[in-house]
Chain A
Amino acid sequence: MNFWLELVLKLVVVLGFVLTGALVVIYAELKAGSHMQSRIGPYYAGGRWGWAQPLADGLKFLQKEDLAPAAADRTVFGWAPYVVMMSTLAIFVVIPFGPDMVGRDLDLGAYYLLAISSLSVLGILMAGWSSANKYSLMGGLRAAAQLIAYELPLVLAVVAVVIQAGTMSLNGIVEAQSQTWFTVAGLEISAPFLIKGQILGFMIFMIAAVAELSRIPFDMPIAESELTMGYLTEYSGIRFTMFFLGEYASMIGLSAIAATLYLGGYDVPGLSGNILNVVGPGVMIFKIAILVFIIIWIRWTWPRLREDQLQKLAWHWLIPLALANIAIVAVFKVAF
């Protein structure tokens, strides 16, 4: 296939998937959250069950005036949401939705993921600093401290998976999970890494992922009862929409990474080859949906932690545990 055609096609597909996915997740959050609070939530927009509510919200945001504080550094202020959005979109380049359905199967896929997803903190810091607002600044600093603290357990949790899989390519990791684990009565049993001894790693990854997303119980950067909206305080209109979409897109992104690394990705035990290319995306989306729902569910049940408790959790517990996890996985990898 022509290189440029392929590039454009992939761009459209990824963009389409991410933006539609973000809208769907927003809708799910509105709806699930409402029902958890014995409300109904969106009801009228779109005619049935308010399915068009996120679209209507987006349209409303587009019409709003693009305000910037007088003292703001307008260049930085203007670019911050796009930095966040970009780093989120770039995650999807390497996420495999089928054996061949991947933007680009990098050999260092896992490495690339971790590198690119931590770029979003740059955008958040930019937003917090350039807003010329004390709440924003505090929110930005909190976000920076938090994302640095949680980047480490995230990376260390992934390292354990990489050791177990023996490759950094995400396709390779999925394949490692589809290989026969053991044979019982002629049946070849394969299992994702979650079952193959990565439960601790999965927990650490998910906790760190929720912290990366700045969602309850780790939403101090935007803690609205303390910092009004943190680094988002001064944003409105299209730029706010970018942050908003970015948050939900990265929710999908991190869930997709978790699904790939721990839940076997597009893999279904027993299927292989071209069938997986057809079924794979559906399986992947299903796995993502489960993880996204859990993140939403937590957000509507739990309160938030305090900044120092959050740091303590990361440095005192998650990082040592993640290191221990690596050691155990490495020992087993060498021994067996």
Chain B
Amino acid sequence: MSKKVQFPFPGLFKGMWLTLKTMVKPAPVTMYPEVQEIPVPRARGVIALDVDNCTVCMLCARECPDWCIYIEGHKQEEPPSKPGGRPKVRATLDRFDIDYSLCMYCGICVEVCPFDALYWSPEYEYSEGSVSNLLHNKEKLTEWLATVPEAPSLESR
């Protein structure tokens, strides 16, 4: 005890010197609304949907651990591709909703999709005033498709 209370305490003043140095340095802060940081391409920001690729196979909805994907579809007959052939039966997507208030961003749906209909986009500005508004429909999900970035180039080793 007696040794420690002696003046001066070198550690205390070294610390003060460090805080003083930090004070005169510019702060490494991004002023968010004015300056936006660009997330890394792989960032799991929001799930985008490519409606054309979706075949209403329900795999994503089944594999979702949170049960937050709601899909409805119907079968629809289409004219045969070549004249004289059998008419095709095609599943059409009526509803594709993701409840982002439940989603835990695990990425399983994107992974299990066999037809490349779901993508991760780094977009993050979609907060809502009410939790109920976080249920986004397929039109909204399609809008985000444009924000899906190109795949990053890979490390050579």
A→B interface (CB under 8 Å): 32, 34-40, 43, 203, 297-298, 300-302, 312-313, 316-317
B→A interface (CB under 8 Å): 1, 5, 7, 12, 15-16, 18-20, 22-25, 27-29, 31
- Interface residue SS majority, chain A: helix
Residues of chain B within 8 A (CB-CB) of A34 are: 27
Asked if A36 and B19 make an inter-chain contact with CB atoms under 8 angstroms apart, the answer reads yes
Residues of chain A within 8 A (CB-CB) of B1 are: 312
Asked if B25 and A38 make an inter-chain contact with CB atoms under 8 angstroms apart, the answer reads yes
Once bound together, how far apart are the Cα atoms of A152 and B94, in whole Å?
Answer: 81
Chain A CB within 10 A, most for which of B18, B25, B27, B28: B27
Residues of chain A within 8 A (CB-CB) of B15 are: 301-302
**Smallest Cβ distance from A47 to chain B, in angstroms?**
14
Asked if B5 and A38 make an inter-chain contact with CB atoms under 8 angstroms apart, the answer reads no
**Smallest Cβ distance from B47 to chain A, in angstroms?**
33
Residues of chain A within 8 A (CB-CB) of B28 are: 38
Q: A203-B7, A313-B5, A317-B5 are in contact. Are A301 and B27 (CB under 8 A)?
A: no
Once bound together, how far apart are the Cα atoms of A58 and B96, in whole Å?
Answer: 49
Other than A38-B27, A301-B18, give 5 A-B pairs with Cβ distance below 8 A: A35-B23, A36-B22, A297-B19, A298-B16, A301-B16
Q: Specify which of B7, B18, B20, B27 is in contact with A39 (CB 8 Å cutoff).
A: B27
A294 closest partner in B (C-beta): B16
Residues of chain A within 8 A (CB-CB) of B16 are: 297-298, 301
Q: A298-B16, A313-B5 are in contact. Are A32 and B23 (CB under 8 A)?
A: yes
Q: A203-B7, A313-B5 are in contact. Are A300 and B27 (CB under 8 A)?
A: no
